[in-house]
Amino acid sequence: MSAPPVRRPLGKLSRRELLPLAGAAISALATTMLLFGRLTPLDGKFGFVVVAFLVFLATYTVLVSLTEGRPAVVDRLMTALLAAAAVTAIGALFSVIVFVFIKGWKALTKPNFYVNDLSVTGPQEPLTSGGILHAIVGTLIMTMIALVITVPLGVACSVFLNESKGRAAMLVRTVVTAMTALPSILAGLFIFATWILILGQERSGLAAAIAMSIMMLPIIIRSADVVLRLVPGNLREAAAALGAPQWRTVWHVVLPTARSGLTTSVILGVARGVGETAPVLLTAGYTATMNLNPLKDPMVSLPLAAYELVRSPQETLIARGFGTAAVLMVLVLVLFTLARIVGGRPAGRLSKGQARRATAKSAADLARFEARQMEVGR
């Protein structure tokens, strides 16, 4: 009677799996160093990494095939490829973040960078003068206006897509899907052509906010549509059984149940809009001064400020540009983290605070019903 097969642990590498991996890595490094240093005229860091990885895959495949069958060899090879792809993606992202912070660190460490604008700062002024307050305030104003436009439209459109099953809903869903891949420069050109050239309006924060809304709207609609689909159907059926019309079911049952997911969709839309440069460049213009009026005069955002400052030949302005990009990256990272935290609960699951408020409201309703029954009994 043969012994039962040993189960392979999936959470960690066993010693039997670790030895071929280490041997292949050492062999690939030694072979590549030999090829690049002695046997061939190959040169370059990128080529060294590519050749070393290919040699590692070949060596690792041979070593695993000595003790394992074909399925195990394919499994280990695909695991190595996926791990390499993940390391490459994370490494590229990490290198970009580190590069931006290193280039802008001198500006980021100056307190005036966050509380001043560039209205009285010349190109040769040191980093102790001037800042990006005008870009931070401009970004907040544009984002608030864009939210006023996109939140009602996005939620209403997602409700329409979920509650309506006709051809119109299919057409709207197709258009929204196409708009998700819309290049941002086209949104900026559309608002520039209609709002500024045809209607004769000037470049302003309002025009930029409208252009940002075009980019944010499909993200909010798609995300909210997915969230509303997750609302349990028995909640709608229970509301219909109680005689509630469709609009009341949506308002009192569907939307409150999907509240956390809808908040996440709005945050994701904001993260998309905040990082847009081309629409703001075409519709808002650039200014180095503070402008609190979105209806008049140019207004700058963080991406546009970073773009304009990095293009400058002066080292101080370049440092301010990379510092602005670092602030923008931190802002987007905070938004995505917040979306992850808020959207971590499934649709219908309440937070602790919401559960306490719902319990208190239920107790108040029960007391009111009991008081009404006592009045009827008298």
Choice among 3-7, 151-155, 255-259, 332-336 with the minimum mean pLDDT? 3-7
Q: Is residue 357 part of a domain?
A: no
Q: Is residue 353 part of a domain?
A: no
148 and 47 in a common domain: no
175 and 250 in a common domain: yes
Is the predicted pLDDT of residue 376 greater than 80, yes or no? no
317 and 207 in a common domain: yes
Domain boundary among 61, 86, 105: 105
- Number of structural domains (the chain) is 2
314 and 266 in a common domain: yes
CA distance linking residue 98 with residue 111, whole number of Å: 21
Share of the chain above pLDDT 70, in %: 91
CATH classification at residue 211: 1.10.3720.10
**Would you tell me how many other CB atoms lie within 10 Å of the CB of residue 30?**
12
Give the confidence band of 183 by pLDDT, cuts at 50, 70, 90: confident
Instruction: Give the pLDDT confidence score for residue 354 in this predicted structure.
Output: 64
For the chain, give me the number of helices (H) and strands (E)? 15, 0
250 and 185 in a common domain: yes
Is the predicted pLDDT of residue 5 greater than 60, yes or no? no
281 and 243 in a common domain: yes
Domain boundaries, position 86: 15-105
Q: Is residue 126 part of a domain?
A: no
CA distance linking residue 378 with residue 368, whole number of Å: 16
Instruction: Give the pLDDT confidence score for residue 4 in this predicted structure.
Output: 57
CA atoms within 13 A on the CB side of 64: 23
Q: Is residue 373 part of a domain?
A: no
Instruction: Give the pLDDT confidence score for residue 372 in this predicted structure.
Output: 79
Averaged pLDDT, 314-335? 90
Instruction: Give the pLDDT confidence score for residue 46 in this predicted structure.
Output: 80
Tell me the pLDDT tens digit for each residue of 24-68: 888 888 888 888 877 677 777 888 888 888 888 888 888 888 888
Give the confidence band of 9 by pLDDT, cuts at 50, 70, 90: low
CA distance linking residue 68 with residue 71, whole number of Å: 8
310 and 250 in a common domain: yes
Tell me the pLDDT tens digit for each residue of 257-315: 888 888 888 888 898 888 888 888 889 888 888 989 888 888 999 999 999 899 888 88
Q: Which two tokens mark 96? A: 């970009």
Is the predicted pLDDT of residue 220 greater than 80, yes or no? yes
Q: Please, what is the average pLDDT of the chain?
A: 84
Helix (H) or strand (E) holding 262: helix 259-274
157 and 101 in a common domain: no
Please provide the DSSP assignment of 173-223 as one string.
Answer: HHHHHHHHT--HHHHHHHHIIIIIIIS-PPP-HHHHHHHHHHHHHHHHHHH
Choice among 17-21, 155-159, 250-254, 344-348 with the minimum mean pLDDT? 344-348
Instruction: Give the pLDDT confidence score for residue 2 in this predicted structure.
Output: 52
What proportions of the chain, in percent to the nearest 5, are helix, strand and coil?
75, 0, 25
Instruction: Give the pLDDT confidence score for residue 322 in this predicted structure.
Output: 93
> What are the E-state strand segments in the chain?
none
241 and 178 in a common domain: yes
Residues in contact with 218: Cβ distance below 8 Å, sequence separation at least 6, in sequence order: 176, 177, 179, 180, 182
261 and 173 in a common domain: yes
143 and 98 in a common domain: no
Q: Which two tokens mark 373? A: 């029954």
Give the confidence band of 86 by pLDDT, cuts at 50, 70, 90: very high
Q: Coil, strand or helix: which one is 64? A: helix
Is the predicted pLDDT of residue 144 greater than 60, yes or no? yes
Instruction: Give the pLDDT confidence score for residue 140 in this predicted structure.
Output: 92
Give the confidence band of 12 by pLDDT, cuts at 50, 70, 90: low
> pTM, whole model, 2 decimals?
0.76
Choice among 89-93, 148-152, 217-221, 240-244 with the minimum mean pLDDT? 240-244
Q: Is residue 1 part of a domain?
A: no
Give the confidence band of 328 by pLDDT, cuts at 50, 70, 90: very high
Q: Is residue 340 part of a domain?
A: yes
313 and 178 in a common domain: yes
Q: How far is C-alpha 89 from the geometric centre of its chain's CA atoms?
A: 16
Instruction: Give the pLDDT confidence score for residue 212 in this predicted structure.
Output: 92
